Amino acid sequence: MVNLGILVSGGGTNLQAIIDSIEANRLDASIRLVFSNNPNAYALDRARRHGLPSKVLLKEDFPSREAYDNEAVKALKDSGVELVILAGFMRLITKPFLDAFPMRIMNIHPSLLPSFPGLDVQKKAVEWGVKFSGCTVHFVDEGLDSGPIIIQAVVPVLEDDTPEILSQRILKEEHRIYPQAIQLFSEGRLEVKGRRVFVRDGHADAGPLENPRVTIF
Ligand code: GRF
């Protein structure tokens, strides 16, 4: 069992996937706080609907990013949060926040990192012409989308794809692997050694993938 603080800025479909996994007893976790920088985030409605405590801090009420993060950390610690989950939280985390939760902050990113860090990455993947994309759950470090990788899921990029269609295909996988990564943490099965994350008693059963699949041989 692990106590979660979930940080959101937008629609909150990943928050919903985590709530659903807990309610279905697939994920052994408790959401102690849903935190947002955006009072209009639809994710906050989701939290309310499930009776979850929430808190909003506005950036304009703080003199610096660090002051904001110190207050956020206080709210999370006061709620008993052990693991911080970034789920579409559109702010960069500063050092005081990282120091308060060392290797205790996870993020999900809609690309196969280290390809396409940053914003608008589904559009970048389509425009670059990559044949596969996907999503990455990783621990957060001081860089941009650069921390140790926990799980990735791969999806094909198809010739007719728009960024929106690709985003939906990736989101479906996000909703599957984010709760899984949290469950592994909850079971104490994640071991971080440098850049690498090892899963105790994991199965290495991934096979090769190709796209487009051509039947020449
Ligand atoms: C997702 O695409 C996630 O990968 C990225 O932000 C988006 C959040 O979506 N970090 P939602 O708010 O969970 O629906």
Q: Domains of the chain, with CATH numbers?
A: 1-102 (3.40.50.170), 108-201 (3.40.50.170)
* Proportion of the chain above pLDDT 90, given as a percent: 92
Mutate-to-test residue for ligand 1 from 107, 108, 168, highest number of ligand atoms within 8 A of CB: 108
Query: Is the pLDDT reported for residue 203 higher than 80?
Result: no
| Of 32-46, 68-82, 188-202, minimum mean pLDDT range | 188-202
Given a contact cutoff of 8 angstroms between Cβ atoms, the answer to whether 33 and 5 are in contact is yes
Which residues, judged by CB distance below 6 Å to any ligand atom, belong to the binding site of ligand 1?
10-14, 43, 87-88, 108-110, 135, 171, 174
Which atom of ligand 1 is nearest to 86's Cα? 10
Distance CA 217, CA 215 (A): 6
Active-site residue flag, 138:
no
pLDDT digits (tens, 9 = 90+) for 90-128: 999 999 999 999 999 999 999 999 999 999 999 999 999
Residue 83, C-beta contacts closer than 8 angstroms, at least 6 positions apart: 2, 3, 4, 5, 29, 101, 104, 105, 106, 182, 185
Neighbour count for residue 85 (Cβ, 10 Å): 29
Given a contact cutoff of 8 angstroms between Cβ atoms, the answer to whether 96 and 66 are in contact is yes
- 14 token code pair: 């990943």
Q: Whose CA is nearest to atom 5 of ligand 1?
A: 88
Task: Judge if the upstream peptide bond of residue 117 is cis by omega within 30 degrees of 0.
Answer: no
pLDDT digits (tens, 9 = 90+) for 155-174: 999 999 999 999 999 999 99
Mutate-to-test residue for ligand 1 from 7, 13, 14, highest number of ligand atoms within 8 A of CB: 14
Instruction: Please tell me the predicted confidence (pLDDT) of residue 108.
Output: 98
Query: Is the pLDDT reported for residue 213 higher than 90?
Result: no
Neighbour count for residue 121 (Cβ, 10 Å): 24
pTM of the model: 0.96
Catalytic residue among 50, 109, 138, 175: 109
